[in-house]
Structure 1
Amino acid sequence: MTKFLLAVHVLAAIVAVGPVTVAASLFPPTARKALAGPGASRHHLALLYRVCRVYAVVGVVVPVFGFATARNMGVLGDTWLIVSIVLTALAAVVLAALVLPWQGRILEGIDEGDGGNGGHGGTVGERATVRLAMVTGVFNLLWAAVTVLMIVRPGSTTGA
């Protein structure tokens, strides 16, 4: 049963978290293109935003199966797992409280012609995309740290 849970956990992480990290990373440069002028960028931007929102919800299965796997392995109290849980929760907060709302504001601003900045102009819109890129980078780094902890963990069978 542990192997099954672990397999589902890893597959869910690849299928759910992977698209969010890629789409979130592509959003800021696509937003800058959309701010620069009309074109297909607006459509791409809306698609990237939708991918981030949908896969953020789908991503809930990752910690669910992670907890089930950890329980079966008897490692719920291990430090590496607790750190991973904290980092995962922090990544979820960054995504839900910063990345997704900023993406939504930028997208709405492009629709309204102000770059998501309440009429402050294109320069601020570009600054908003830079800030979003930074926050998205933090989100991606948190997931990278969790991935490393899942692979190279104290007492693992990898010998690392």
Structure 2
Amino acid sequence: MTEFLLSVHVLVAIVTVGSITVAASMFPRVALRACGGGEREDGAPAGGTGTAVVLHRVCAGYAVAGVVVPVFGVATGAQLGVLTDAWLIVSMVLTTLAAALLGLAVLPGQRRLLALAEGAASATEARPVASRLAMLTGVFNLLWAVVVVLMIVRPGSTTGV
């Protein structure tokens, strides 16, 4: 049973959190371009908000699906008897912080930047919002990177490095 719980935990984490980190990292630049703040990779003028909308939907949709990650993580931890280990407690705190950052800052920031792009705001108006959003997304990604390291190394465990 432990193998099943751990497999679901890891697979869902890869699919959901991986998708969110990539889409959220791409979003500020794409949305800023939609505000006229740059050119596409092929040198053509920036287009509409279609890609930014899709990236936001990926982030929001996978955020909901990502609830499965801690559910199966706690179930796996209970099965292994490690729920009181410091590395797991720190991982759960960081996961909670990452989820709060995503739900309370990143997703609302994406909606704010989309509204600016759809309202034909200039790149000058949108740039501070995009910069803040990029920074928040970087913090979100960093929190997940630390959680991944903790899950692999598991300080104090007999299988940790």
* TM-score, length basis structure 2: 0.91
1:6-155 equivalences under 5 Å are 6-36=6-36, 39-114=46-121, 121-155=122-156
The secondary structure found in structure 2 opposite 1:36 is coil
Paired residue type of 2:8: V
- How far apart are residue 33 of structure 1 and its match? 1.0
What 5-or-longer segments of structure 2 have no aligned partner?
A: 38-44
- Cα deviation, 1:130-151, whole Å, max 9, x if unaligned, reads 1100000000000000000000
Deviating 4+ runs (over 3 angstroms) = 37-41, 155-159
Pick 1 or 2: higher relative contact order, CA cutoff 8 A, min separation 6: 2
In structure 2, relative to structure 1, the CA distance for the partners of 1:12 and 1:157 (3 Å cut) is farther
Q: What CA RMSD, in Å, does the superposition of the two structures yield over aligned residues?
A: 1.4
CA distance in 1: counterparts of 2:153 and 2:64, whole angstroms = 27
CA distance in 2: counterparts of 1:45 and 1:78, whole angstroms = 40
In structure 2, relative to structure 1, the CA distance for the partners of 1:81 and 1:137 (3 Å cut) is same
- How far apart are residue 123 of structure 1 and its match? 1.5
- How far apart are residue 71 of structure 1 and its match? 0.2
Structure 1 contact 28–132 (Cα < 8 Å) conserved? yes
CA distance in 2: counterparts of 1:92 and 1:16, whole angstroms = 12
Structure 1 contact 12–59 (Cα < 8 Å) conserved? yes
Structure 1 contact 30–41 (Cα < 8 Å) conserved? no
- How far apart are residue 159 of structure 1 and its match? 4.4
What 5-or-longer segments of structure 1 have no aligned partner?
A: 115-120
- How far apart are residue 56 of structure 1 and its match? 0.3
Structure 2 contact 2–76 (Cα < 8 Å) conserved? yes
CA distance in 1: counterparts of 2:48 and 2:93, whole angstroms = 36
The secondary structure found in structure 1 opposite 2:58 is helix
CA distance in 1: counterparts of 2:88 and 2:160, whole angstroms = 17
- How far apart are residue 122 of structure 1 and its match? 3.3
- How far apart are residue 32 of structure 1 and its match? 1.7
- How far apart are residue 158 of structure 1 and its match? 4.0
- How far apart are residue 16 of structure 1 and its match? 0.8
Question: What percentage of aligned pairs have identical amino acids?
Answer: 59
